[in-house]
């Protein structure tokens, strides 16, 4: 990485919140995964799962990405350590905010 690339990284402000359907999504919130059609095998396997937003990241094209860990993943701690296979990325359009902790959220997959 050269000095110019490093300065770009330093100047990026962390994203605290992203709006999804009029709801502010922040780190730690629960969401239901709704991957877009035509995705890969992980998208198929994760569709309808409940996840926790681990981070909100913005790329250099100003696109937002939500890094999530699955709520029922026994390796959730590995996802929080940013290990592959336990941390997944979705666009804001591919998630549905869950505002309550009701078990109905879990059942309506």
Provide the strand spans (E) within 40-83. 50-58, 64-70
Q: Is residue 46 part of a domain?
A: yes
Q: Per-residue pLDDT tens for 41-96?
A: 888 888 999 999 999 988 878 889 999 999 988 878 777 877 777 889 999 999 99
Q: Which residues, 6 or more positions from 96, have their beta carbon under 8 angstroms from its beta carbon? A: 20, 21, 31, 32, 33, 34
The parent domain of residue 36 ranges over 15-101
The count of structural domains within the chain is 1
Q: Is residue 8 part of a domain?
A: no
| CATH number (domain holding residue 60) | 2.30.30
Q: Measured between alpha carbons, how far is 72 from 43 in angstroms, rounded to an integer?
A: 17
């Amino acid at each position: 990485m050269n000095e110019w690339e490093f300065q770009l990284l330093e100047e990026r402000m962390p994203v605290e919140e992203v709006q999804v359907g009029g709801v502010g999504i922040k780190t730690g919130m629960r969401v239901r995964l709704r991957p877009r059609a035509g995705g890969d095998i992980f998208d198929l396997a994760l569709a309808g799962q409940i996840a926790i937003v681990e981070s909100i990241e913005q790329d250099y094209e100003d696109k937002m990405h939500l890094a999530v860990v699955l709520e029922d993943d026994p390796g959730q701690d590995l996802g929080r350590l940013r290990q592959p296979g336990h941390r997944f990325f979705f666009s804001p359009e591919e998630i549905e905010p869950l505002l309550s902790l009701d078990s109905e959220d879990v059942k309506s997959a």
